[in-house]
Structure formats: structure tokens, C-alpha cells
Structure 1
Amino acid sequence: MGLLDGKKLLITGVLMDSSIAFHVARLAQQEGAEVVLTSFGRQLRLTETIAKRLPAAAPVVQLDATSTEDLDALADRVREHVDHLDGVVHSIGFAPQSVMGGNFLTGQWDDVATALHVSAYSLKALAVAAHPLLGRGSSIVGLTFDARYAWPVYDWMGVAKAAFEATSRYLARDLGPEGIRVNLVAAGPVKTTAAKSIPGFQALDEGWPKRSPLGWDASDPEPTARAVAALLSDWFPATTGEIVHVDGGFHAMGL
């Protein structure tokens, strides 16, 4: 038996085979899970192409996490492939470059609002949309970048991640009585497509391996994907509202 044997999972954010979400999907299938992916717009065809690189075929359903229409239709779209869900992976994030890369003070509300909507509110929206398919023992796992600090160049995306982390705790509070767990994985910098879109991303990456007791390989998403898979499993039955750091130990070291 695999760690996720028989589980049915909804995984967002598979864009490239370098995506953390892609590696979560790959590991999940290897550990016995059935996987449904989401994508939307121009990215839909790309996700369908990348999905063919998984160990097994995975259907892709339309979901723009900022679209009320898509969110309302999500449960029915997923039911075309599986009758319920045991887990949901939130790997959604976006901020206009105008509010990153040193533009904190000049960021305008419309662009900040976009970052907060896509990168924070979407966790609540996705949880509510998937809620009809989730039962006792199910798990929602999101990906964050430790929002306790003001990082170089991250700016309003860092603020959005702080809101994202708070949202996960409130979801844990409200969904816990139904036996639904909500946890996050705080990864170190990983060279995904999303990361490369951050102006000055190298400012986050530089020095991370030296500061991390275990070292850190920003080109390897596997450790992060394994943590997500573990939280989706039944091995954390009494853990919710938690942020698990997968960063080589960087978060625990002083300056």
C-alpha cells in the first residue's frame, strides 16, 4: 500500500513539470492516489500537455479561482471524474510585477487587490467550492513562503502570503468540526515558473544554502512535494492550522 492509496485528490497549479504541484501530483499517483488537476484559459492546454508526463493520465477541469462561475461549477466538474475528494492542494498565486521587485511603496490598490484575491482569498474560495466533496478525514494543503518576515523584492506578495496564512488558520477553525484539516507547507525558494516571474528572485535565493543547516537546492521541488503528500495522508490525523517548514532549516537560524 502507498501512503495515499485509494485517495482522490484535486491539485491546482500544475503548469510546468518544474511546478511543485506537478511533483505533488506525480508523488501522489506513485503513492496510490487518483488525481484531478485544474487549470483555466490559455493555461488549460498547457496543463493538459504537462499532465501527460505524469505516471498516469489525469483529467483537467476548468477553474479560475477568481471566477464565481467556475467556483460554483467546480464540484460538478470534479464529479465527472471522481465521486468525492480526500484532499485538495492549493498552489495558486499571482501578483502584478508592479507590486513586487522593490515597488512596495509605489504599489497601487488595484494591483495589490489582485495579489490578495488570487493569492490569499482564493484559498477560502477553493475550500468552499470543494467543500461538498470533502468528508471527515480529508485534507486541504496550501503552499506558502514564510510570511513572518519582510523579504527582499517580495513586497505585496509577502503581504498576500501573510493573509493566506491567516486564512488557513480560520479555515482550520471552521472546517475542523467536520474533520477537515487545513495545513500549509512553507518552502524555501524553488525555481518554479512562478518564482522566475518575481523581479529580482535571485535576492531570495542567494545565501539560502549557506544559512540552512541541511543545505538547500532551489532546483529540487521534491522535498516540498513530499511534505505536501504527507499532509494529505492519514499520518497527520490531529494536525490542522499548522505551517510545516521545508527550507533546510533556514527559518530557525538567526542572522
Structure 2
Amino acid sequence: MGLLEGKKLLITGVLTDSSIAFHAAKLAQEQGAEVILTSFGRQFKLTETFAKRLPKAAPVVSLDITSDDDLANLADQVRQHTDTIDGVVHSIGFAPQSVMGGNFLAAEWPDVATALEVSAFSLKSLATATLPLMSNGGALVGLTFDAQFAWPVYDWMGVAKAAFESTARYLARDLGPHGVRVNLISAGPIRTTAAKSIPGFEKMEGGWPERAPLGWDQTTAEPAARGVVALLSDWFPATTGEIVHVDGGVHVMGI
């Protein structure tokens, strides 16, 4: 019997087969879950392509996380495939390059606002849009990059991640009475499409394998995906508002 046997999950952010979201969907299916993916716009066909590369082809529903209409219609779209869900994976983030790569002081509010809306407020948007589907409780799992530090070149995306982590704590407070757990995976640097879009990303990942007590492989998302699957399972029934580090141990090192 798999770790997620019989569970039904909604997973956002599958754009390539190198992403944490794709690996989480793959592992979830291997552990017995049914998976529904989300995508939107020009990315939709790309997500459909990779959905077919999962162990079992997964349906894809439309969700632009900044669209009020898409958020309002999300539950009805999901109900075309299942009446309820047991878990949601938030793997959504975006910041204009003008607010990263050493542009912290030069960044302007409209671009910063975009980063905060898509990368932080979206967690609350996704939570409230899917709550009607989690009548029996469930788990909301998001992905972060340790926001307690000021990383090279991350700039306002780092600020957005700090807001994201704080949002998760408040959601844990407000969704707990509904039986919904809210936890995050803080992954080490992985060479995903999203990471490669960060100007100067190599400065963030530089030396990570040497600093990590357990070592670190920037080329695979599977360790982080395993963490996501674990938090979606019933093995953490009393854990919420937590950030689980899957980074080889770098977060505990002083240098």
C-alpha cells in the first residue's frame, strides 16, 4: 500500500520534467494518489505534454493564479474529475528580472508588486479557492527558498519568499480548524527552468554541495519532491506551519 493510497491531489507548476512539481506528481502517483495538474495560457499545452509523461496521464485544469475568474471557477473545474481533494501543492513563483540580479535598490513598485502577488499572495489565493474541495481536511504544501537570509541576486524574490513563509503560518492558523495542514519545503538550489531564469543564479548555488553535510545534487528535484509527498501523507497529522529543509543541511551551517 502506497503512502498516498486513495488520495486525490491538485498540483500546480508542472512546466518541465525537471521541476519539483513534476517529480512530486510522479512520486505521488507511484504512492497511490490520483493527480490533477493546473496550468494556463501559453504554458497549458506544455503542461499537457508533461502530464502524459507521468506514470499515468493526468488531467490539466486552467488556473491563472492572478485571475479572479479562474480562482472562482477552479473548484468546479476540479469537480469534473473528482468531488473532493486531499492535498494541494503550491509550486508557483514569478518575479520580473528587473527586481532580481542585483537590482534591489533600483526595483520599482509595480514589478515588486507582481513578485509579491504571484509568489506570496498566491498561496492564500490557492488555499481559499481549494478549501471547498477539502471538506474532509487535507494538506497544503508549498515550496520556498530559505528566506531568513539575504541571498546574492535573489533580491525582491527573497522578500516575496519571506512573505510567502509568513503567509503559510497565518494560513496554518486559519485553516487548522478546517482540518487543513499548511507546511513548506525549503529546498536547496536545483537547476530547474525557474532557477535558470534568475540572473546570476550560479552565485546562489555556488559551493552548496561542499557546504552541505549530506552533500547536494543541484541536478535532481527528487529529494525535495519526496519531502512534498511526505507532508501530503498522513504521517504528519499534527504538523502545520512548519518549514522542512531539504537542502543537504546547509541551513544549519555557520559558514
TM class by smaller structure: over 0.9
Q: What is the CA–CA distance in structure 2 between the aligned matches of 1:219 and 1:95, rounded to whole Å?
A: 23
User: Counterpart amino acid of 2:26?
Assistant: R
2:18 equivalent in structure 1: 18
Q: Secondary structure at the match of 2:41?
A: coil
Q: What is the CA–CA distance in structure 2 between the aligned matches of 1:136 and 1:60, rounded to whole Å?
A: 23
Deviation at 1:179, TM superposition (A): 1.0
Q: Secondary structure at the match of 1:186?
A: strand
Q: Structure 2: any 5+ residue segments left out of the alignment? A: none
User: Counterpart amino acid of 1:84?
Assistant: T
Deviation at 1:220, TM superposition (A): 1.0
- Residues 5-84 of structure 1: matches in 2 within 5 Å? 5-84=5-84
1:196 equivalent in structure 2: 196
Deviation at 1:107, TM superposition (A): 0.3
Deviations 1:142-161 (A, max 9, x none): 00000000000000000000
Q: What is the CA–CA distance in structure 2 between the aligned matches of 1:178 and 1:49, rounded to whole Å?
A: 35
- Residues 157-176 of structure 1: matches in 2 within 5 Å? 157-176=157-176
- Residues 128-207 of structure 1: matches in 2 within 5 Å? 128-207=128-207
Q: Secondary structure at the match of 1:29?
A: helix
Q: What is the CA–CA distance in structure 2 between the aligned matches of 1:102 and 1:136, rounded to whole Å?
A: 45
Q: What is the CA–CA distance in structure 2 between the aligned matches of 1:193 and 1:219, rounded to whole Å?
A: 11
Deviations 1:86-106 (A, max 9, x none): 000000000000000000000
Q: What is the CA–CA distance in structure 2 between the aligned matches of 1:66 and 1:131, rounded to whole Å?
A: 17
Deviation at 1:177, TM superposition (A): 1.0
Aligned length: 255
Q: Structure 1: any 5+ residue segments left out of the alignment? A: none
Deviations 1:207-244 (A, max 9, x none): 00111000000101000000000000000000000000
Deviates more, 1:134-143 or 1:60-69: 134-143
2:119 equivalent in structure 1: 119
Asked whether the 8 Å contact 1:86–1:138 carries over to 2, the reply is: yes
Q: What is the CA–CA distance in structure 1 between the aligned matches of 2:134 and 2:163, rounded to whole Å?
A: 24
Q: Secondary structure at the match of 2:148?
A: coil
Q: Secondary structure at the match of 1:83?
A: coil
Deviation at 1:135, TM superposition (A): 2.9
Q: What is the CA–CA distance in structure 1 between the aligned matches of 2:137 and 2:77, rounded to whole Å?
A: 22
Runs of 4+ in structure 1 displaced over 4 angstroms?
none
Check if 1:247 corresponds to 2:247: yes
Q: What is the CA–CA distance in structure 2 between the aligned matches of 1:136 and 1:177, rounded to whole Å?
A: 11
Asked whether the 8 Å contact 1:213–1:250 carries over to 2, the reply is: yes
Q: Secondary structure at the match of 1:135?
A: coil
User: Counterpart amino acid of 1:205?
Assistant: E
Q: Secondary structure at the match of 1:9?
A: strand
Q: What is the CA–CA distance in structure 1 between the aligned matches of 2:3 and 2:32, rounded to whole Å?
A: 7
Q: What is the CA–CA distance in structure 2 between the aligned matches of 1:161 and 1:136, rounded to whole Å?
A: 29
Asked whether the 8 Å contact 1:99–1:107 carries over to 2, the reply is: yes
Q: Secondary structure at the match of 1:57?
A: coil
Deviation at 1:137, TM superposition (A): 3.9
User: Counterpart amino acid of 1:217?
Assistant: D
1:99 equivalent in structure 2: 99
Deviation at 1:250, TM superposition (A): 0.2
User: Counterpart amino acid of 2:19?
Assistant: S
Instruction: Return the TM-score normalized by structure 1.
Output: 0.99
Q: Secondary structure at the match of 1:89?
A: strand
Q: Secondary structure at the match of 1:234?
A: coil
2:3 equivalent in structure 1: 3
Q: Secondary structure at the match of 2:78?
A: helix
Q: Secondary structure at the match of 1:85?
A: coil
